[in-house]
Structure 1
């Protein structure tokens, strides 16, 4: 319960810092981030991204030069200690650059803060290594649950990704911690779906498309994961970080003059795809550009998550593929294809099929009937992604 409260407070802090940064950067007070960007003067996009590059570049250079190394959440779960001050600064830098428009996910920061609090509290309570492991993982999952209002998704992420444990004790801890964190964070986080869309129908056309598109989306998701790994492996080091990141971010800001949907963690592009608000050709261009700018952001040295960028890319792929398929077999709203593709691509990029399904359905508040095509697509997607990963690890071509 205490870890849930701490993770919920971390979710509140992350949400408030993000909102303040966004509103100051783009000069708006109401509406969504995309509405604020579209209503602001275009020059703000370049200036905000340039500022994000300077803050992130200098901040991470200084942190990596003089601070203690931030430990990955998975290592903290396995027993490593997270340095408190470095973790707080690391999380703050992530949220500030996302608020300024950086194209990277914000979910890593609350996961790190939740893991930090779970680790600290477990050490103070003198818990066993097994109990500490569960509470640290639950704190990280609860941080994700808090910022996105996805209590079940946070719990499933804890069990499937961090713990790989479905014992009764682990399930109880994960469910309770995520539920408490979500309730606490609702002080500032709206109790509503992340993406607004109507109830979507299931049709025979959608079922057939899910069978065919799932493996293709798995191939695309695995390719994106591999590209992210390569980008992280070639990040600048030392003083180069403080030079490269401002240059890359300023370039992304210049591109955003024509394509403001690229800014932020991916929610803007995801909502545009769900709404089918732009022509198919424009969405196809945006999904390519989103992948490029996300990889450039990671490759420049920025830290952050890939959850919402992956969902946005998958949603855009679904809109493009669904629009094409509708000419072959009409009668299904394009939004149905978008939902299925978002789940399948996210499953491949997270390597977590159940987590992806639960998150997408909590993000969109869709009816259970849509689970059938989504599950078919996710099964095909994750099968191809795992096969490709196994071939790469074993060196078989």
Structure 2
């Protein structure tokens, strides 16, 4: 181990810290690229599309839709077996998992190596096979794991190690989604709860480096393509009126998912619960291919305004149901993209009702606004949600105002409901 900071010259210490920051960014970028390529590989093999290249132009939704009903069901059946046996074995024989939040707040922020890697890989493989949960936790865990190890090896103080573990998590997010600013803001707003200069610089540096490094394998990819939408008073007023509705819906969603996670089995029941859950999802995916995966496909259709309102409402109900049931079965994954999708689908329904009385703004614009508002409230990260939405979609500057109005309303409603419940 390197000598402690008390025994070396301050200039050398800062150089060493800078080297660790660069190493974290590079490592998180490579880790993020690896899990993204693994996700694509499993998706392509499971559903039989774009087998000639890992990063292609054919979307997951297109691939699932083109697959035969039997292949869709088989993929979800395998997903249930992987989830049940994988997490069951991990909880039975692996070292106890340490979440990123716990690591950031611990005196020693290092996470168990083998358990964390297996946990991350299980998330990536199951999402690729069709789990409705998100993939964003896995690269964050890989980035945090690497950061904790290298910061400790460099002999940095415990406080610095905790900051850099958070930065590694944000860098992993930045790498896998190509959101350098979003990854940094996530670190500052959600994990560290401070925008102090001492944390701002490493957060920005690690996320920017990680996103840049990941582009060597993943390309400069945008998650969604959003058309140019004309913003009028109809959309602005609709965002103000519907903002609290998104917050209320997010509050219900968080209550359901939190309860599901709290009651998820970690014993011998897990394999059975997971298998039953994914068999049911497989049966649903036969008729509704858009239910497979974390929801990126339906969100993209919503942003284009290409989903009929009835189908959007049905997909919203089914997606929330299978997201909750999957968490209840013991499977793991994030809720970032699922929350974004739920907000977009809900916005299509609310926007359609709004336009019956106040025609004007396109439904796709409502979907963008609703996605940001729901995500901000459901994950309690208003600034991060806005930045992520901007980097995901590259929406026009004119859309900023309705998004802000909706986020303010959703966060406020979420807080009020929380106070009433307590």
TM range (shorter): over 0.9
Q: Distance in 2 between matches of 1:372 and 1:358?
A: 13
Cα contact 1:274–1:319 (8 A) shared by 2? no
Report Cα offsets for 1:31-58 as digits up to 9, x if no partner. Answer: 0000101111111111101101101100
Please name the residue that 1:241 is paired with.
270
Q: Distance in 2 between matches of 1:367 and 1:152?
A: 17
Q: Distance in 2 between matches of 1:114 and 1:387?
A: 35
Unpaired runs of at least 5, structure 2: 1-21, 51-55
1:112–1:318 Cα change, 3 Å: same
Alpha-carbon distance, 1:190 to partner: 3.1
Q: Distance in 2 between matches of 1:44 and 1:325?
A: 40
Cα contact 2:348–2:366 (8 A) shared by 1? yes
Please name the residue that 2:232 is paired with.
203
Please name the residue that 1:67 is paired with.
94
Q: Does 1:350 align with 2:379?
A: yes
Q: Distance in 1 between matches of 2:200 and 2:235?
A: 34
The correspondence of residues 9-88 of structure 1 with structure 2, limited to 5 A, is: 9-29=30-50, 30=56, 31-79=58-106, 80-88=109-117
Cα contact 1:56–1:245 (8 A) shared by 2? yes
- Residue 134 (structure 1) aligned to one of 140, 158, 163: 163
Please name the residue that 1:156 is paired with.
185
Report Cα offsets for 1:166-190 as digits up to 9, x if no partner. Answer: 1112111111100000001112223
Cα contact 2:243–2:409 (8 A) shared by 1? yes
1:201–1:192 Cα change, 3 Å: farther
Q: Does 1:118 align with 2:147?
A: yes
Please name the residue that 2:249 is paired with.
220
Please name the residue that 2:29 is paired with.
8
- Residue 294 (structure 1) aligned to one of 323, 332, 350: 323
SS in structure 2 of the partner of residue 186 of structure 1: helix
Cα contact 1:262–1:268 (8 A) shared by 2? no
Alpha-carbon distance, 1:328 to partner: 1.2
Q: Distance in 2 between matches of 1:357 and 1:284?
A: 24
Cα contact 1:273–1:319 (8 A) shared by 2? yes
Please name the residue that 2:19 is paired with.
none
- Residue 257 (structure 1) aligned to one of 286, 303, 308: 286
Pairwise CA RMSD of aligned residues?
1.0
Report Cα offsets for 1:276-318 as digits up to 9, x if no partner. Answer: 2231111101011010011111111011100000000000011
Cα contact 1:197–1:364 (8 A) shared by 2? yes
Please name the residue that 2:210 is paired with.
181
Report Cα offsets for 1:196-234 as digits up to 9, x if no partner. Answer: 121222110011001100011000001101111010011
Which structure is larger by alpha-carbon Rg, 1 or 2? 2
Please name the residue that 2:306 is paired with.
277
SS in structure 2 of the partner of residue 264 of structure 1: coil
Q: Does 1:99 align with 2:128?
A: yes
Q: Distance in 2 between matches of 1:172 and 1:81?
A: 22
Cα contact 1:142–1:155 (8 A) shared by 2? yes
SS in structure 1 of the partner of residue 287 of structure 2: coil
**Which region of structure 1 is more displaced relative to structure 2, 193-202 or 109-118?**
193-202
Alpha-carbon distance, 1:361 to partner: 1.1
Q: TM-score, normalised by structure 1?
A: 0.97
Alpha-carbon distance, 1:333 to partner: 1.2
Cα contact 2:127–2:134 (8 A) shared by 1? yes
Unpaired runs of at least 5, structure 1: none
Q: Distance in 2 between matches of 1:180 and 1:99?
A: 26
Q: Distance in 2 between matches of 1:128 and 1:210?
A: 46
The aligned length equals 393
